[in-house]
Copies of this chain bind each other. A is one copy, B any other.
Amino acid sequence: MARLMELYRLMARIRAFEEVALVAHAAGELPGYLHPSIGQEAVAAGVCSVLRRDDRITSTHRGHGHALAKGADVRGMMRELFGRAGGACRGKGGSMHIADFSVGMLGANGVVAGGIPIAVGAAQGLRLLGSDSIVACFFGDGAINRGPFLEGLNWAALYRLPVLFVCEDNMVAAFTAARSVTAGPGVVARAESFGVAAESVDGNDVEAVAEAAQRLIACVRRGGGPRLLHARTYRLLGHTSTDEAAWRDPDEVAQAKANDPLVRARDRLLAAGVDGAVLDAVLAEARVEMEAARADALQAPWPEPAEAWEDVQDIGAEPVEQL
């Protein structure tokens, strides 16, 4: 139960992070927009819980959970969402470009499937370095219709690279049901057609995800070549912080809510005899942590305008304009 408890805590922190960020967004505290992963926490938590710190991940536009689960600094992340000094990316990236290389989080990506070629290349680089680290590559069910996904499967299989592909199948690609634009049996069949062994898992069962990921990663790390994990989950909110996703079947949404990965983990912990108050405390602590991060971000200074001119290139960087 200790492990499930840890996973529960991790999911609770991801959930709280996004809930607090959404409140802050609605309050006009943070610029731009967010892609919340609420409802999908078990995938990020399950997979990242079985990675080593020196393993790498690549992520998507919906990457808060991945970053947090991989160990990214929460205050740095929140400040980044707020565009403040001390943000994980110095305020240059925002929500869609969260990265924390110090924990192997090689970045969210604003381009669907954009992380996939990067992931296979990172794996190839690790091989060259003689490292036994692996790369977990997250992408959505909408990404499997982009060419780079298929090129990446071929590439990883060809060079037997240490990559775990993780398809977060939340049934939707922005505003369109993913099934309605995806031909054939789906991602598992696609992977297998490249010789990449693949399996599906209930992506709202965090233990099942962790268990499957662990098994697959063991093969990958042993030099067995890439594997693909297909995690079925559900995006409980809209595509972005400003989308209600009102077009979805309310029954479907209601059913999905009952299947919330946090609810399921909680039920299991309760059934195993954990006190409800303990679980409530986990949620409350997570909330406190994230509200503190929000408060920290809110009081943090803005970056200096001149910082816009930094981090472009070493050679050929333009001088700061008269500001």
| B153, B157, B182: the one within 8 Å of A154 (CB) | B182
| A183 and B153 in contact, given A190-B193, A194-B190 (Cβ under 8 angstroms) | yes
Contacts of A310 in B (CB 8 A): none
- Chain A's interface size range is 20 to 34
In the complex, the answer to whether B157 meets A146 with C-beta atoms within 8 Å is no
Q: Whose C-beta in chain B lies nearest to the C-beta of A152?
A: B147
Q: Whose C-beta in chain B lies nearest to the C-beta of A181?
A: B158
In the complex, the answer to whether B158 meets A151 with C-beta atoms within 8 Å is no
Any B CB within 8 A of the CB of A44: no
| B146, B147, B181, B195: the one within 8 Å of A183 (CB) | B195
Any B CB within 8 A of the CB of A280: no
Contacts of A195 in B (CB 8 A): 183-185
Once bound together, how far apart are the Cα atoms of A190 and B192, in whole Å? 9
0/1 per residue, A175-205, Cβ < 8 Å to B? 0000001111100011011111000000000
Contacts of A192 in B (CB 8 A): 184, 189, 193
Instruction: Write the nearest CB–CB distance from A310 to chain B, whole angstroms.
Output: 34
Any B CB within 8 A of the CB of A145: yes
Instruction: Write the nearest CB–CB distance from A292 to chain B, whole angstroms.
Output: 44
Chain A residues at the B interface, C-beta cutoff of 8 Å: 145-151, 153-155, 157-158, 181-185, 189-190, 192-196
Mind listing 19 A-B residue pairs with CB under 8 Å?
Answer: A145-B151, A145-B154, A147-B150, A147-B151, A149-B150, A153-B183, A154-B182, A157-B184, A183-B194, A183-B196, A184-B194, A184-B195, A184-B196, A185-B193, A185-B195, A189-B192, A189-B193, A190-B194, A192-B193
